[in-house]
Structure 1
């Protein structure tokens, strides 16, 4: 994976432009591609008491609310041209809807894939739905 599609990059930039980050000045956008191939996007939303919503969590919520339950790929675009990996909480959220082989791609403003990980690499030996007796 070298560069992402121009339309996907435009969507990530649009979403990042809609981020509400008055406290950190760290706008982030994420797009998750579901197992059905549909894309769902989100941006971070900060609030004064600092219990904010990350971009990945926002995108996952949009996916789940649309009825999809499987993540195939996650794209993340942060500010400043540096890689912006998901925080620990978002890694766990991604894990809930992903397989260990699901890819997370960190994108720069030119659409270049700066770094890729599997969720298994980002969150090894993770706890998930398969650990809950059912």
Structure 2
């Protein structure tokens, strides 16, 4: 695995597998660009989400925000890591809106992404330097 990652390779691969499975449930009839996300929490639970498109494009939701919103509804607000799986072979980091949304909960967590070069890890705060916060962080 490339990049700096505090997770074991096995954990990162299992999280990516969960994201890839979630990608299979995506509803992407307009773009055809299915994405899955899997978020790991400290107690070992993994919450997944997929992108859900809408004919009114602005009402669509990304996989990452879908997964984190589901986690919050379950009472989970401290993610340890997230894996994002776009189409096979496509390096698919979270979009800017998802980066900001996720930073609310854990700005330094590793983001696991898979592309043609394999699995890599990038800290969320590296993907979103100087993200907005009302917490003074």
TM surpasses 0.5 = yes
The offset of 1:38, in angstroms, is 1.4
Q: CA deviation at 1:13?
A: 2.6
Match among 92, 114, 117 for residue 84 of structure 1: 92
> Which ranges of 4 or more aligned residues in structure 1 deviate by more than 6 Å?
none
Q: Which residue of structure 2 aligns with residue 58 of structure 1?
A: 66
Counterpart for residue 96 of structure 1: 104
Change in Cα spacing, 1:106 to 1:7, as seen in structure 2 (3 Å) is closer
When the two chains are superposed, the root-mean-square deviation of aligned CA atoms in Å is 2.3
- Asked if the contact 2:20–2:37 (Cα under 8 Å) also holds between the matched residues in 1, the reply is no
Deviates more, 1:27-36 or 1:48-57: 27-36
Unaligned runs of 5+ in 1: none
Tell me the secondary structure at the aligned position of residue 53 of structure 1: coil
8 A Cα contact 1:96 1:129, kept in partner: no
Residue 105 of structure 1 corresponds to: 112
The number of residues matched between the two structures is 129
Q: 1:80 to 1:7 in 2, by over 3 A?
A: closer
Cα distance in 2 for partners of 1:29, 1:13 equals: 6
Task: Provide TM-score, normalisation by structure 2.
Answer: 0.82
> Aligned-pair distance for 1:80?
3.3
1:119 alignment partner in structure 2? 124
Residue deviations 1:21-70 (CA, integer Å, cap 9, x gap): 01111000000112333110000000000021000001101111110111
